[in-house]
Amino acid sequence: MQSSSANEAYDPHANTEKWLGVWQDRKVFEASDLTADTGDGRPRRYVVSMFPYPSGDLHMGHAEVYSIGDALARYARLTGADVLNPIGWDSFGLPAENAALRRNLDPGSWTYGNIDVQAESFRRLGISFDWRTRLHTSDPEYYRWNQWMFLLMYREGLAYRKAAPVNWCPNDQTVLANEQVVQGKCERCGAEVERRNLTQWFYRITQYAQRLLDDMDQLGKWPEDVLRMQRNWIGRSTGARVQFTIEDRDEPVQVFTTRPDTLFGATFFVVAADAELADDLCAPEQRGEFEAYLVKTRAATDIERLAADRPKTGVFLGRYAINPINGEKLPVYASDYVLADYGTGAVMAVPAHDQRDLDFAVAMGLPVRMVVDTGEADPAETGVATAGLGALVNSGQFTGQDTVAGKAAIIAELGRLGLGEATVNYRLRDWLLSRQRYWGTPIPIIHCPSCGEVPVPEADLPVRLPESGYELRPTDGRAPLESATDWLAVPCPTCGGAARRDTDTMDTFVDSSWYFLRYPNPGYTDGPFDPEGIRRWLPVAEYIGGKEHAILHLLYARFITKVLHDRGLLPFVEPFTRLTNQGQVIMNGKAMSKSLGNLVNLQEQIADYGPDAVRVTMLFAGPPEDDIDWADVSPSGAVKWLARVIRLAGDVTASSPGEGSLELRRQVHRLIDATTTLMDGRRLNVAIARLMELTTVLRKAADGTPGPADPALREGAEALVRMLSCFAPFTAEDGWERLGRTASVIEHGWPHAEPELLVVESVTCVVQVAGKVRDRLEVAPDISEDDLRALALASAKVDRALAGAAIRDVIVRAPRLVNVIPQK
Ligand code: ANZ
Ligand code: ZN
């Protein structure tokens, strides 16, 4: 039997505008506690999806992250929380400048135009944002607080300037961000990128290295791999600093080593060729050779330089270092396999136990001396360094000790001599935040010929970007702001003399390191964020975003949070309590790109299948953290499922919820329970599979007896539609309406699984006393032996049959039989 509604086509577009209007009128997505404490007792839940960069319209990747974030926000709302699901734009950054150069626009109008397009797309996708939070990092009202924080950091010695190697394109005559260097070449013009030393601004994140590690204890709800990546990036090594005297030089040189136990095996000494130290140590007769080598080194990137398989090269500097433990003379070399900015930029080379040192020794014909016996063959013969633990050999008074004891003993001896100590070293570098770019936050510093660096007084913030009179295309290595001559010239705040503004702008990671603090009150003017908003909503309960931000963005946000905490501005040290990563949307096994011609256009997908089917497809394809290959999924399958839900809702004729067929109710409540558990575990794809299963169960019931009039069918269909609203919000409203209910389904909450309906059917257990049947019990099929024994012994009938006799034994065969054997 089919009802007439079965023939109506499901139109995924028909009612979207209607529901958007209803949601807006009823303010269903507005957090009630945003502006004042409403005291309704609901727990607050702050669900933040990483904010978008307005590079154009929303793309498939956006649709995925916001579908995930929206499902989690809607679930939290349905289960009784006061939810804040905010939105803003990460609207500074380089693509705006490149696009502006190509199209002869200004970066601002390109950016704000894209923001409007994206905002409209978000609306049409039905994402449940509270639009009152909306902020744009390129607004002066926002970026003034970047400047305010910069000044705070500057005052505290956490912001400073120093010369640092940067990527330089000799053709475009400009500094490039790391992201603009593609395989060693300039992204724009393809020229080979060079390294140059330029004066740059830094945030001293290294001062927080240990705390960034320690506080990971609080991040139990973060993915393990993200924590691992952060730990590796911080790169804590324990070892020793050892001091080497240089022959004919007053100042000694320090090295960092993780293996002080191998000190007797040092046969030469290497300094980073591009470190000042190398230049300093170079003997006059070696200078020509050294400088020729340096030119070659400069061209290589750090990654190339550290590659294990790179042939080792270097030059002898004509000097000797003295090994502090045995007085041996070690020749000093400069090489590019030692990095200038790690440790001290100098190493004691132990070729027997470090492969890079061994390769260098072989290349230069230097001696190899084994000092740790690991049980493996002698590296001098095999060419394979032995890096493992073992017993010290050839190590003077320390010979015979094992690696661990030997380390401690040699450090103690160096300490006694005043030539070394145990130390910790971090791979983490300070955060290079200056960019020689236009579309970013101006650095609030004024350079005065007499006073030097002078901070812009707080009352003069924001330092606004000039809107005209600048040349966007960098020329002769001049940053765009250097061409804004009117803007540039300012009186010195200290002496009043002629001075000039700093022409660098901030890395956009600065903008995104604290935006989530401002959302609760984005118009706040007394500080970067409203302390009341912080008290109500922060830290972020649930943060959703791509794995590509696993390291830098999250590390910077954690760092800034700690800095603000230490100044008494925040009551917590970690900003994100729970982190959910999403994978990428790819096509035929490859990242989507214009050049590959495999771009899937989101708007076309929405036009073809409707917003709900696109969202369901994204979430059903796999766990949130996996990549989705759009070639393998089926939005038309999602459309079919949603159409079945709609048809089912139209077929229900029972008018009151509750009761009805017990068996159907049991199935429904078991599926509600399973879906709830899956949602709590963020297993969204499996949760959707359960809802599909529920649809099938209900369809069968509707087609059977008692059929459409069964109140249990109505109960099940209403539960289905309520749960569906997390994933397919428009269809859920359509279904709710078809069920004869009034909008909005969102206001009816998540269905509750009744515990007594969750008992999976029961079996009859026979209880005997001395082999005679005395009672029958209805029990769960998976009841434990202990529970069954206790239940049987509690039976009044068993008690009566025993007539006071003591029990000799109880034989339990769960779930069907218990035999109680009395004492004779
Ligand atoms: C002697 C030695 C013997 C080392 C041995 C290792 C094994 P991690 O663990 O990554 O911290 N090193 C120190 N500074 C360096 C630099 N600027 N560039 C390249 N290498 C550098 O690595 C620390 C080890 O890397 C240090 O310990 C040093 O070599 C090298 F059997 O010292 B070792
Ligand atoms: Zn001055």
Number of the ligand closest to the Cα of 387? 1
Substitution candidate for ligand 1 out of 241, 253, 274, 342 with most atoms within 8 A of CB: 342
Q: Which atom of ligand 1 is nearest to the CA of 258?
A: 27
In the reported structure, the alpha carbon of residue 527 is separated from the centroid of ligand 2 by a whole-number distance in angstroms of: 28
What is residue 766's three-state secondary structure?
strand
Nearest CA to ligand 1 atom 11: 237
Q: Which atom of ligand 1 is nearest to the CA of 237?
A: 11
As a whole number of angstroms, the distance between CA 484 and CA 488 comes to 6
Strand order in the sheet with 159-169: 174-176, 159-169, 194-203, 431-432
In the reported structure, the alpha carbon of residue 453 is separated from the centroid of ligand 2 by a whole-number distance in angstroms of: 8
Nearest CA to ligand 1 atom 25: 257
Angle between helices 684-703 and 662-680 (to 10 degrees): 170
Q: Which atom of ligand 1 is nearest to the CA of 306?
A: 19
Q: Which atom of ligand 1 is nearest to the CA of 239?
A: 27
pLDDT mean by block of 10 residues, the chain; 824 residues: 49 93 94 78 94 91 94 97 97 88 88 95 95 97 98 97 83 68 77 83 96 97 95 94 95 96 97 93 96 82 66 95 96 94 92 96 96 95 94 96 96 96 93 90 98 97 93 76 94 97 94 98 96 95 91 95 98 97 88 79 92 96 91 92 96 80 92 97 96 97 90 95 98 95 92 87 89 91 90 93 92 93 88
> pLDDT for 719-728, tens place per residue?
999 999 999 9
Residue 37: the pLDDT is 76
In the reported structure, the alpha carbon of residue 360 is separated from the centroid of ligand 2 by a whole-number distance in angstroms of: 52
Nearest CA to ligand 1 atom 32: 257
Ligand 1 binding pocket, CB closer than 6 Å: 237, 256-259, 262, 272, 338-339, 342-343, 345, 347-348, 350, 353-354, 425
Residue 476 DSSP label:
T
Substitution candidate for ligand 1 out of 255, 354, 371, 424 with most atoms within 8 A of CB: 354
- Is residue 623 a contact partner of residue 687, using CB atoms and an 8 Å limit? no
Residue 302: the pLDDT is 60
3-state helix, strand, coil in the chain (%, to 5): 40, 20, 40
Nearest CA to ligand 1 atom 10: 237
**Which of 761, 739, 757, 758 shows the shortest CA–CA distance to 748?**
739
Q: Show the CA angle centred on residue 165, arms to residues 160 and 166, nearest 5°.
A: 95
Give how far Cα 445 sits from Cα of 120, 159, 161, 165, 454, Å.
38, 11, 11, 22, 6
In the reported structure, the alpha carbon of residue 645 is separated from the centroid of ligand 1 by a whole-number distance in angstroms of: 63
Q: Is 204 exposed, middle or buried (0-12, 13-18, 19+ CB in 10 A)?
A: middle
Number of the ligand closest to the Cα of 451? 2
In the reported structure, the alpha carbon of residue 501 is separated from the centroid of ligand 2 by a whole-number distance in angstroms of: 12
- For 327: left if phi > 0, alpha if psi spans -120 to 50, otherwise beta; the answer is left
Residue 103: the pLDDT is 85
In the reported structure, the alpha carbon of residue 457 is separated from the centroid of ligand 2 by a whole-number distance in angstroms of: 13
**Which of 394, 355, 357, 389 shows the shortest CA–CA distance to 375?**
389
Residue 7: the pLDDT is 38
| Dihedral sign computed on CA atoms, order 504, 508, 513, 517 | positive
As a whole number of angstroms, the distance between CA 507 and CA 511 comes to 8
Nearest CA to ligand 1 atom 14: 343
Residue 298: the pLDDT is 72
In the reported structure, the alpha carbon of residue 454 is separated from the centroid of ligand 2 by a whole-number distance in angstroms of: 7
Give how far Cα 169 sits from Cα of 199, 311, 725, Å.
16, 26, 51
| Consecutive H or E run containing 245 | strand 236-246
Cross-strand bridge partners of residue 809: 821
- Is residue 776 a contact partner of residue 792, using CB atoms and an 8 Å limit? no
C-alpha count within 13 angstroms, C-beta hemisphere, residue 757: 21
DSSP-assigned states of every residue in 556-585: HHHHHHHHHHHTTS-S-S-SBSBEEEE--E
Residue 177: the pLDDT is 65
530: how many CB neighbours lie within 10 A of its CB? 21
In the reported structure, the alpha carbon of residue 495 is separated from the centroid of ligand 2 by a whole-number distance in angstroms of: 4
> pLDDT for 543-565, tens place per residue?
999 988 888 899 999 999 999 99
The amino acid at 646: I
Residue 411: the pLDDT is 97
As a whole number of angstroms, the distance between CA 681 and CA 691 comes to 16
Q: Which tokens in the block code for residue 287?
A: 């200078």
Q: Which tokens in the block code for residue 50?
A: 């990483």
Residue 305: the pLDDT is 64
In this structure, what is the dihedral angle of CA atoms 274, 277, 283, 288, given to the nearest 10 degrees?
Answer: 20
| Dihedral sign computed on CA atoms, order 127, 610, 614, 745 | positive
Q: Which atom of ligand 1 is nearest to the CA of 385?
A: 31
72: how many CB neighbours lie within 10 A of its CB? 25
Residue 718: the pLDDT is 96
Substitution candidate for ligand 1 out of 258, 303, 304, 353 with most atoms within 8 A of CB: 258
795: how many CB neighbours lie within 10 A of its CB? 18
What is residue 598's three-state secondary structure?
coil
Q: Which residue has the tokens 């770019």?
A: 437
Residue 513: the pLDDT is 97
Q: Is 160 exposed, middle or buried (0-12, 13-18, 19+ CB in 10 A)?
A: middle
DSSP-assigned states of every residue in 267-313: -EEEEETTSHHHHHH--GGGHHHHHHHHHHHHTS-HHHHH-TTSPP-
In the reported structure, the alpha carbon of residue 161 is separated from the centroid of ligand 2 by a whole-number distance in angstroms of: 18
In the reported structure, the alpha carbon of residue 306 is separated from the centroid of ligand 1 by a whole-number distance in angstroms of: 12
- Is residue 307 a contact partner of residue 370, using CB atoms and an 8 Å limit? no
